Structure 1
Amino acid sequence: MAAFVGAVKVNSVSSSAVFHIGDSYYIQPISSAKTYAGGGSFNTGNGINVSLGQSKTIVFDQDYID
């Protein structure tokens, strides 16, 4: 089904971003990244209380390529 899109304003698009409007069959990003972080690392908000006994982040990648 066709998409009807009104006015679109794009302020900026980063170098590895995908900008898409309307129908598409396949979209693939140009780059990817892997991020390692321990337990409770990406919490955001007000009054967060994180209690970790023992935490371990394993960063060994057996195949070296994803």
Structure 2
Amino acid sequence: MPGFVGAVQVISVSTGGVVNIGDVFQIHPIAYAKTFSGAGSFNTGEGITVKNNYSSTNTYDVDGLDQGILFNL
């Protein structure tokens, strides 16, 4: 069923983002990322106290290759 959309303003779209306006059957955003972070790095909010006497993040990747996204359709 078609829909009517009024004025749309898109300021920005991230690298792996998808913008859809109207009817769609399938959307396949494809992006990948590898994130290394230490203890307490993704804490958000007001008045957070994090005490890490010693923190070490292991970034050694033995295999060298991760799962590919080439054929993920």
> Above 0.5 in TM-score?
yes
Residue correspondences, number: 64
Q: Is there any run of 5+ residues in structure 1 with no aligned partner, and where? A: none
Root-mean-square deviation (CA, aligned residues, Å) is: 2.6
Contact 1:3 1:23 in 2 (8 A): no
Q: Is there any run of 5+ residues in structure 2 with no aligned partner, and where? A: 67-73
Against the structure 1 CA distance between its residues 56 and 15, is the aligned structure 2 distance closer, same or farther, given a 3 Å change threshold?
closer
TM-score after normalising by structure 2: 0.57
Contact 2:17 2:29 in 1 (8 A): no
Structure of higher RCO (CA pairs closer than 8 Å, 6+ residues apart): 2
Identical pairs, percent: 39
